[in-house]
Amino acid sequence: MAEKDLLPASITSNLGTHFIGQRVIYYPSLTSTMAIAKQEAQLGAVEGTAVIADEQTAGRGRIKRAWLSPKGNIALSIILYPSVVYLPSLIMLASLAVIHSIEAVTGLKSQVKWPNDILIDGKKVCGILIESSVRGNIVDYAIIGIGVNVNLRLSDFPEINPTATSLSDELGRDASRLSLIQRLLVEVEGLYLALQAGGSIYQEWRDSLVTLGKRVRVKSGKIIYEGIAESVARDGSLILRHSDGNLTKIVAGDVTLRN
């Protein structure tokens, strides 16, 4: 369907959420939805405000990487004001929301590569970026950024083709970005409310990790660790078992799965 499908009115009509996505700020093209969401959050935007773009010209990935974000993909940022105790759970929440939505809308099964990649058959279909401003125990705001390769022919993008995939390449046909965005907003709200009601999403997130039990190389800052990804802690850190039997707890890093 045409790009007009992503207009705010199309997204919010019959959305069925209480607050996530009830306000949508849409751009045909912009630098990064993260930048606009940050500005909006600093101005006190209502919780659940979603910033959506058809195309980003300076999409941001983790570790200061660029994120390729051409037309046909989903670029979405959601503004939240969570309590500080929920911050570590946001990456789990976002990952599960993406996996649930992809399966509900396309039937495709996906998995999480710690900490924030969503893979289909070992190839990256979605990246998630969480940015927050925290002062002491006060969270000014947190922004969940989700980029999904939806209707993208990877053969047109040789720079990411070996390691990435898209829903359309997997399906052999286009997928509805509108349905995916609506489902994502519903899933994020459901999981966020469940978390605040005392529910745990840790176990399901842990079960969806492709990383556990695998031999991995993890780049964390300037340090490179190697070992078996043994477990994940409730705060989201990766527990790595080295060949000498020692364990390292890694809070943030970039994982390469080894054979």
Q: List residues binding ligand BTN (CB under 6 A).
A: 32-34, 56, 59-62, 65, 67, 69, 75-77, 116-117, 127-129, 145-147
d(C-alpha 126, C-alpha 75), whole Å: 10
Q: How far is the CB of 66 from ligand BTN (least distance, A)?
A: 9
Q: How far is the CB of 118 from ligand BTN (least distance, A)?
A: 9
- Is the CB of 29 or the CB of 196 nearer to ligand BTN? 29
- Is the CB of 59 or the CB of 227 nearer to ligand BTN? 59
How many alpha carbons fall within 13 Å on the CB side of residue 162?
1
Cis upstream peptide for 115 (omega within 30°): yes
- Is the CB of 65 or the CB of 242 nearer to ligand BTN? 65
Give me the residue whose beta carbon is nearest to ligand BTN: 127
d(C-alpha 46, C-alpha 21), whole Å: 10
- Is the CB of 35 or the CB of 228 nearer to ligand BTN? 35
Q: How far is the CB of 175 from ligand BTN (least distance, A)?
A: 17
Distance (Å) of CA 6 to CA 45, 96, 153, 186, 216: 20, 23, 20, 16, 39
- Taking alpha carbons only, the member of 167, 96, 180 closest to residue 125 is 167
- Taking alpha carbons only, the member of 77, 63, 73 closest to residue 25 is 77
- Is the CB of 242 or the CB of 251 nearer to ligand BTN? 251
Q: How far is the CB of 37 from ligand BTN (least distance, A)?
A: 8
